[in-house]
Chain A
Amino acid sequence: AQKITQTQPGMFVQEKEAVTLDCTYDTSDPSYGLFWYKQPSSGEMIFLIYQGSYDQQNATEGRYSLNFQKARKSANLVISASQLGDSAMYFCAMREVFNDYKLSFGAGTTVTVRA
């Protein structure tokens, strides 16, 4: 079964607007962590933001915020005030204690920011 589902293969967003990337996950582990990574066209994987399953508040890092809805098992990434440099592939990932803390990645969402 797919542990991480990213249903949007590609998205377009206008510069300076906000964009939400969907991520749903499947786990029976009460202790887990959710991550978002950015992969620009240059290829590197850049860590963006982390949310722990017991965290009470949604994580934020600059223009990135994570909309964590535990009951719905969703961990959507919100990028505010999009910039041209935000054009990239974005991956959602989960680590579970049950899985020896190994990361499971989604298929990714490509974001293209238009000027």
Chain B
Amino acid sequence: DAGVIQSPRHEVTEMGQEVTLRCKPISGHDYLFWYRQTMMRGLELLIYFNNNVPIDDSGMPEDRFSAKMPNASFSTLKIQPSEPRDSAVYFCASSPRTGGIQYFGAGTRLSVL
């Protein structure tokens, strides 16, 4: 079985540009999570979806960040405009049920210059 698939693995962009990160969850998983990992703040939950519906976006840092899940097999996290402080590793994870084990993708390492 394929795990959670994220693309791209690495993204380098300039300040002010739009960045789109992509995630394909494990088939059959109802929950999808977006996390951000930085040295200063560790792993932070940004937003999560249940059955494609955003449930909790309280971790989204500001309006420049948005996330969508148009169907059960695809989600995007968009940053517009990007800033150097957005540089981090962004993880997507999926889970089959409430409180279930979350399986993570390989992450996208974002560098905003």
Contact = CB atoms under 8 A, between A and B. Distances in A.
Given A43-B89, A43-B109, A101 B104 contact: no
8 contacts: A42-B106, A43-B106, A43-B107, A44-B105, A91-B43, A100-B55, A102-B48, A102-B56
Contacts, number: 41
Nearest to A102: B45
A37 B102 CA distance: 10
Interface size class of B (residues with CB under 8 A): 20 to 34
A94 B42 CA distance: 15
A37 to B, nearest CB: 7
A45 interface: yes
Contacts of B109: 43
Given A95-B99, A102-B56, A108-B42, 11 more contacts: A45-B104, A45-B107, A46-B104, A47-B104, A50-B101, A100-B55, A101-B98, A101-B99, A102-B45, A105-B42, A106-B42
Interface string B31-71: 00100000000110100100000011000000000000000
A47 B3 CA distance: 12
